[in-house]
Structure 1
Amino acid sequence: MRITRLYVQQPLVAGSELSLPADAAHHIGVVLRAQVGQPVVLFDGCGTEAHAVITECTRKQVCVQINSAETVNRESPLAIHLAIGVSRGERMEFVLQKSTELGAASITPLLCERSEVRLADERWQKKMAQWQKIMIGACEQSGRTTLPILHSPTDLSHCLANDNSAQRFVLHHRSDNSLSAQQEKPRSVLLVIGPEGGLSEKEIAAAQAAGCSALTLGPRVLRTETAPLAAISVLQARWGDFQ
């Protein structure tokens, strides 16, 4: 039987007992119908993973005893910062989930000239909370112990001004530059990808002026939810931990 992994924002110390937060308790006690004595794995999103056993399990409360806790590093040596144009509906959720599984270190939702999603501040806050839950679930499923950073939605110029990656790329299907032409191995990469309809020529020019190399993934035009996953996979295979 597969052991359940859960993210908890609490110190994980061997020998201690924890009362799990409401969401985690509901998932274990109600959704999974777990039993006392069942093992679980906890992680704090900062690199610590703990093996624990359920000591109390009701519909309203779940307590666990931590048997061991240690620092576990499953992060790629290549820190990928994905700056992705916000797309409609489930496309953005899919990108966040799969990018987390593939090892992205941080993600910035971009509000681009061609972005079709425009929300009030309050709705953005709800959307961010929803996206954060999706990324947590992806960490639980994929075995990551470090939660990627989810930055607040912003425009491209602000993103470029606040990024300090060693190498920068902007995806542009009309570019002749492929990743195979890049010789140096960076420790961190910014990957800029537009929404449906792509980045405008003005945005591409601004990205290139800020040090982004235009990059193509081949002769075919990829959808906005396909491009980041293909690009992250290529980066991980060349410079990360897909080796």
Structure 2
Amino acid sequence: MHRFCFDPAQKTGNQVLLDEEESKHLLKVLRLELGAPVIAFDGAGHEYTAVVQAVANRMVQLGDLTPTGEMREAPVAVTLIQGVAKGEKMDWIVQKATELGVARIVPVWTERTVVRLDAARSAERAERWQKIAREATKQSRRTVVPTIDRPCAWAEALARWPSSQPLLVPWEDCRGTGLGRLLRSWSPAPAALALAIGPEGGLTAAEVAQAEALGARAVTLGPRILRTETAALAGLAAIMMELGDWR
């Protein structure tokens, strides 16, 4: 069945009103009729079977909401601290990271970040990335839409991260522990962690040292140099394999 995301504030009893974008998709693209069965989810972990109940002023109301009881979120909440990448790479990273189960994405400016945006454009870009995450959540049948933060400086992202939770920094010049080996050594596994990936050109030695001074752990993703988009997804896949729901 087709899936639609709704604002939890628009749910009343066992009915919900879809927003303009979702209503347009249902009516104009999919051309569903009254009584058609659908899946509706609120992006916060609740999913329902429903039917198209009414249409008024081009807005669709769904009714007969029945909880499915499905929960497809990973047992570990992963935050991806991602150096802002050029062009459409960042869109792709957001989409694929959402499919892999990331809980939050924090775009960051680093010393080697090529893309620089003012406050207004940063807000616009974050809104765009949030929409991409929402669509990827629908496609991947997740029930929770990841949070996409506005871009911030590397130092700010580090300062905001709770010191009680692991922060892993894959770095091409690391000669220490591999990511997979470190993940397998944890018992019990943490409930939440962060993975920090540099932009094109990677993180500088000073930035890695700055993170380590705050308790982060530099790790290696192997002997080959990975592009920023490859490193992000490889790291997330390793986490899902060792600590998530791929086991």
* TM-score when normalising by structure 1: 0.92
- Runs of 5+ consecutive residues of structure 1 not aligned to the other structure: none
Give RMSD over aligned pairs: 1.9
Distance in 2, Cα, partners of 1:84 & 1:13 = 34
What's 1:194 paired with? 198
Q: 1:104-130, CA deviations, whole angstroms, 9 ceiling, x for partnerless residues?
A: 111100111111111121111111111
Q: Does 1:96 align with 2:94?
A: yes
Q: Report how far residue 60 of structure 1 moved.
A: 2.1
C-alpha contact (below 8 Å) 2:97/2:233 kept by paired residues? yes
- Runs of 5+ consecutive residues of structure 2 not aligned to the other structure: none
C-alpha contact (below 8 Å) 1:81/1:190 kept by paired residues? yes
Q: Report how far residue 172 of structure 1 moved.
A: 0.5
What's 1:217 paired with? 221
Q: Report how far residue 179 of structure 1 moved.
A: 2.2
Distance in 2, Cα, partners of 1:89 & 1:59 = 38
C-alpha contact (below 8 Å) 1:15/1:68 kept by paired residues? no
Q: State the 4+ residue runs in structure 1 displaced beyond 4 angstroms.
A: 11-15
C-alpha contact (below 8 Å) 2:170/2:179 kept by paired residues? no
Q: Report how far residue 15 of structure 1 moved.
A: 5.7
What's 2:174 paired with? 175
Q: Report how far residue 57 of structure 1 moved.
A: 4.8
Q: Does 1:166 align with 2:170?
A: no
Distance in 2, Cα, partners of 1:112 & 1:66 = 49
Worse-superposed segment, 59-68 or 152-161: 59-68
Distance in 2, Cα, partners of 1:194 & 1:99 = 15
Q: Report how far residue 19 of structure 1 moved.
A: 2.9
What's 1:242 paired with? 246
Worse-superposed segment, 225-234 or 50-59: 50-59
Q: Report how far residue 58 of structure 1 moved.
A: 7.6
Alignment of 1:26-175 (within 5 A): 26-57=24-55, 60-69=58-67, 72-164=70-162, 166-175=165-174
Q: Report how far residue 207 of structure 1 moved.
A: 1.2
Which of 186, 203, 209 does residue 207 from structure 2 map onto?
Answer: 203
Instruction: Specify whether residues 21 and 13 from structure 1 end up closer, same or farther in structure 2 by C-alpha distance, changes over 3 A only.
Output: closer
Distance in 2, Cα, partners of 1:159 & 1:126 = 19
Distance in 1, Cα, partners of 2:29 & 2:19 = 15
Q: Percent identity?
A: 37
Q: 1:140-176, CA deviations, whole angstroms, 9 ceiling, x for partnerless residues?
A: 0111111212222111211111112521111101212
Letter in 2 for 1:30: K
Distance in 2, Cα, partners of 1:129 & 1:213 = 31
* TM-score when normalising by structure 2: 0.91
